[in-house]
Amino acid sequence: PEADYSAASMDVHVGSLSDPIRVQGLAHLCEHMLFLGTQKYPDEASYAEFLSERGGYHNAFTSLYHTNYYFKVESQSLFPALDRFAQFFIAPLFIESSTEREMHAVDSEHQKNLENDDWRLSQIKSDLSNPESPFHKFSTGNLETLNIPHIRNELLNFYSQHYSSNQMQLVVL
């Protein structure tokens, strides 16, 4: 049967528990940075514009063990959308000039979370957990944890270490 819309989701089996202790929130920052240009499609706004012009949208989230990227688009645009989407997992740019802006976006999400009771309860559990456990880390990140020298190198190393096909699952509808 014909569908008006198609969608895809890529789950990467890496989340905030994989953050290095020295850069808490790195998995979340990496999630933000992947959407901002690839070697094949270097304009950082082109992906969002492509989807929007075709009735679609995209988003992502980082959990403790997973980072998930997804989009929806008119069905006749699925294959070109998949090509753009795939480039995030083949050759992202991690544009240095975008890094600070995205660190601020991550910090803004953190500030918003401070008012959320569910997030606060989760943070209390984390704070009370064994300090040697990865669960004790600060999962979302903020400017204090991410604004370090050579953050782009940290992103490149994290991506190189964790973003490989054996850690990914793709679903296309």
Q: Which residues are catalytic?
A: 31
3-state helix, strand, coil in the chain (%, to 5): 50, 15, 35
Which residues does 77 contact at the CB level (< 8 Å), separation at least 6?
Answer: 6, 50, 54, 56
Say if CB 8 and CB 85 are below 8 A apart.
yes
Fill in the amino acid letter for 10: M
Q: How many CB atoms lie within 10 A of CB 145?
A: 22
